[in-house]
């Protein structure tokens, strides 16, 4: 059971969020806090998905 599609989609969303925060910070001198919060949520989601994949691999191997 692989969850690579979810990790890839979450990584793309994270990349978009980071680029948007940098763009608005450079262009307007302000930080888009909602997108920054979404980026931190995406980081957490990716970490959980990776940990879940490792746990599934351990359970399958036993």
39-to-20, 32, 35 alpha-carbon distances in Å = 10, 11, 6
- Structure pTM? 0.76
Q: How confident is the model at residue 49 (pLDDT cuts 50, 70, 90)?
A: confident
Q: How confident is the model at residue 24 (pLDDT cuts 50, 70, 90)?
A: very high
Length of the chain: 62
Mean per-residue pLDDT, 12-26: 92
Q: DSSP for 1-62, please give it.
A: ---HHHHHHHHHHHHHHHHHHHHHHHHHS---HHHHHHHHHHHHHHHHHHHHHHHHHHHHH-
Q: Tell me the average pLDDT of the chain.
A: 86
Per-residue confidence (pLDDT) for residue 29, from 0 to 100: 92
Per-residue confidence (pLDDT) for residue 27, from 0 to 100: 94
Per-residue confidence (pLDDT) for residue 2, from 0 to 100: 60
37 vs 23: CA distance, rounded Å: 16
């Amino acid at each position: 059971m692989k969850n690579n599609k979810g990790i890839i989609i979450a990584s793309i969303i994270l990349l978009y969020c980071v680029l948007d925060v940098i763009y608005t910070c450079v262009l307007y001198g302000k930080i888009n806090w909602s997108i920054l919060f979404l980026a931190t949520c995406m980081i957490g989601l990716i970490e959980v998905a990776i940990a879940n994949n490792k746990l599934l691999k351990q359970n399958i191997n036993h």
